[in-house]
Amino acid sequence: MQDPAQDGAHFVTRAGLSADLARIGLGAGDMVMVHAAMSRVGRLLNGPDALIAALRDVVGREGTILAYADWDGAYGDLLDEDGHVPEAWRAHIPPFDPAASRAIRDNGVLPEFLRTTPSARRSGNPGASMAALGARADWITRDHPLDYGYGEGSPLAKLVSAGGKVLMVGAPLDTMTLLHHAEHLARIPGKRILRIEVPLATETGPDWRMIEEFDTGDPVVAGLDDDYFATIVSEFLESGQGRRGQVGSAASVLVDAAAITGFAVAWLERRFG
DSSP, residue by residue, 76-114: GGG--TTSPPPHHHHTTSPPB-TTTSPPPGGG-SHHHHH
State which amino acid sits at residue 226: D
Chunked mean pLDDT (size 10), the chain, 273 residues: 50 97 98 97 95 98 98 93 94 96 95 98 98 98 98 98 98 98 97 97 95 95 96 98 98 98 98 87
pLDDT of residue 6: 43
For the full predicted model, state whether its pTM sits above 0.85.
yes
List alpha helices for 4-136, DSSP H: 14-24, 38-41, 48-59, 87-90, 110-115
State which amino acid sits at residue 228: Y
- Rounded distance between C-alpha atoms, residue 33 and residue 154, angstroms: 13
pLDDT of residue 10: 85
pLDDT of residue 3: 43
Show contacts of 108-111: CB within 8 Å, 24+ apart: 108/35, 108/36, 108/37, 108/38, 108/171, 109/38, 109/48, 110/34, 110/35, 110/36, 110/38, 110/48, 110/51, 110/52, 110/67, 111/67, 111/68, 111/69, 111/70
